Structure 1
Amino acid sequence: MTVEFPLADLDLARRLERTEARSNAAFVEARARLFPDRGARWQEIAGAYALFDGADSPLTQTFGLGLFADATAAGLTEIEAFFSERHAPVLHEISPLAHDSLWPLLRERGYFPIEFTTVLYRALASATELPASPLSIRTIGTAEADAWARVAATGWLTEAPEFTEFLQDLGQTSAQSEGMTPFLAELDGLPVATASLYQNAGVALLAGASTVPAGRRQGAQTALLAARLHLAASQGCTLATMGARPGSQSQRNAERHGFRIAYTRVKWQLLR
């Protein structure tokens, strides 16, 4: 059945960006609960979600700036104070559909682009039967959060071996975030890959993809993608979204599975 894709416009950007923002806010709330000494906190300021998860965390930034309210100098000042009070860098992940008033403000205040993310989306039809796979795919509960985190960290560590403890904590917190559904792929009874699903207002965010070295090239992420899309559609989601590095294997895999590029998001950092 052919499913009509929504246009890649401001309304779509708001839906996709708010879903990711809410997902990260849920993560910050879980971090505050599990690791209270970290001082994790989030706050909505000028229509954006300002999130603090520690000065060195990739989640410490804003989402949605300029999409839900006009950008103003006063709003940016308040956001910058939120991060400065916590001795954290000031970072904004910004959609190109943000209001035009934002761009001259960023330039005037000393912001520079440092990173790009391709935001992809796909329309979802009603759930159909899952394709056959040699892997066993299942969701896990909080009792298995530590085990899920170890598998996820093992896969991620091939890209960043210096962050062992941080990645373990990241996986543990993600698996216990409100509204997050962690998935585990097993091959011959052994865990080989992880992924996660977060749902908000009919939008399914796909994240948490990680495969241990010994489990690669076995179709684990393809099976996890199908399982997450199936669950999201069965629970009423009409859109799925994910982020990837521009031109990466992740982006290519997403496009092969029916995703389209909505836009390329830019991360801006205030250089003091």
Structure 2
Amino acid sequence: MSDAGAVLFADLALARRLERAEALSNARFVEARARLFPESGAGWIAVAGAYAMFDGPSSPSTQTFGLGMFQAPTSADLDELEAFFRERGAPIFHEVSPLADAAVVPLLSERGYQPFEFTSVLYRPIDQAGVKATTPTPEDIAQASAEGVAQASRPASVRVRLIEKGQEDLFARTAAAGWHESGFGDFMLEYGRVNLDTPGLRLFIADLDGQPIATGALNLCEGVAHLAGASTIPQGRKRGAQLALLDHRLRYAAAHGCDIALMGAPPGSGSQRNAERHGFRIAYTRIKWKRSLKSEV
């Protein structure tokens, strides 16, 4: 557990810990898919401290994690990483922290990569005594209304529970319904079914008056609680479900030995604001790079 009086600085040591935790979360998921669906070709490799994942050509997990965080990559390292993706017919993406080695950005630029996506990486220290309750309060609801959000329903009617074996389809269907509008519905349906076979992963569902309306996942990775898998069905939004899921997962993580929580969100998004209201700080903004079509010719 973290010393309650210590300041947790957003430095290279913290960034390495956060980046490795996210890489491990994805590696475990890819390994689970490979076990359940050998025909998928799912797999990963480590090159120069970075983890390269293949989870299918269109999966958001198909990319590298931690490039330049543990050692400076060389052109030969990039050759190996690019070959890994090309051999599997996948696009080549690298998500890079600003605390990565200074050689990374020039190397990517020279090879025709372009930045195209940003993610706020957020963190907060946690312990059993210090996890702040995040179930919506009247102040939370008023703040949401002030930002133009519809009035939230009675928070007390939202109940969070841990998904157990045999409930995979319920989690998967609920998660998929929340992502249907974004085009990731089919991916989330299979994602939910693979998740329960992933070591260290816990799945939670929020019920409103007995009906499932939202999901959230928690990866326990070497003391880091990686929060992901947030999804809310359209008719269940603005009811406080994600705040309740956040609170429940933080408490669960603290009880199971985690001292840091990690999550990613689009910069300036509602997800980022909710996290910041409940103790999260921005560690850094990560940039995703892709190789241009001209460079692939």
TM-score, structure 1 normalization:
0.94
Shift of 1:55: 1.1
**Number of residues of Structure 1 aligned to a counterpart in Structure 2:** 270
Residues of 1 paired with 2:38 and 2:5: CA distance?
Answer: 44
Residue 51 to residue 58, structure 1, CA distance change in 2 (3 Å): same
The aligned residue for residue 120 of structure 2 is: 118
1:268 and 2:289 aligned: yes
Residue 179 to residue 186, structure 1, CA distance change in 2 (3 Å): same
1:152 and 2:154 aligned: no
1:77 to 72, 75, 79: 79
Shift of 1:70: 1.5
1:142 and 2:142 aligned: no
The aligned residue for residue 261 of structure 2 is: 240
- For residue 268 of structure 2, what is the amino acid of its counterpart? G
The aligned residue for residue 252 of structure 1 is: 273
Shift of 1:250: 0.5
Unmatched tracts of structure 2, length 5 or more:
136-154
Residues of 1 paired with 2:113 and 2:55: CA distance?
Answer: 21
- For residue 39 of structure 1, what is the amino acid of its counterpart? G
Instruction: Decide whether the 8 Å contact of 2:178 with 2:185 is kept in 1.
Output: no
Residues of 2 paired with 1:129 and 1:253: CA distance?
Answer: 13
Residues of 2 paired with 1:95 and 1:149: CA distance?
Answer: 31
SS at match of 2:214: strand
- For residue 234 of structure 1, what is the amino acid of its counterpart? A
Q: Percent identity?
A: 56
Residues of 2 paired with 1:142 and 1:96: CA distance?
Answer: 40
CA deviation profile, 1:45-84 (whole Å, cap 9, x unmatched): 1110000011111111000000011111111111111111
2:90 to 88, 91, 105: 88
The equivalences for 1:127-138 within 5 A come to 127=129, 133-138=156-161
The aligned residue for residue 224 of structure 1 is: 245
Residues of 2 paired with 1:231 and 1:237: CA distance?
Answer: 9
- For residue 150 of structure 1, what is the amino acid of its counterpart? R
Shift of 1:171: 2.2
The aligned residue for residue 39 of structure 1 is: 41
Which 10-residue stretch deviates more, 223-232 or 132-141? Answer: 132-141
Instruction: Decide whether the 8 Å contact of 1:202 with 1:237 is kept in 2.
Output: yes
Shift of 1:9: 0.7
The aligned residue for residue 109 of structure 1 is: 111
Instruction: Decide whether the 8 Å contact of 1:133 with 1:223 is kept in 2.
Output: no
TM-score, structure 2 normalization:
0.87
Shift of 1:19: 0.6
1:64 and 2:87 aligned: no
Shift of 1:253: 0.7
Residues of 2 paired with 1:26 and 1:53: CA distance?
Answer: 11
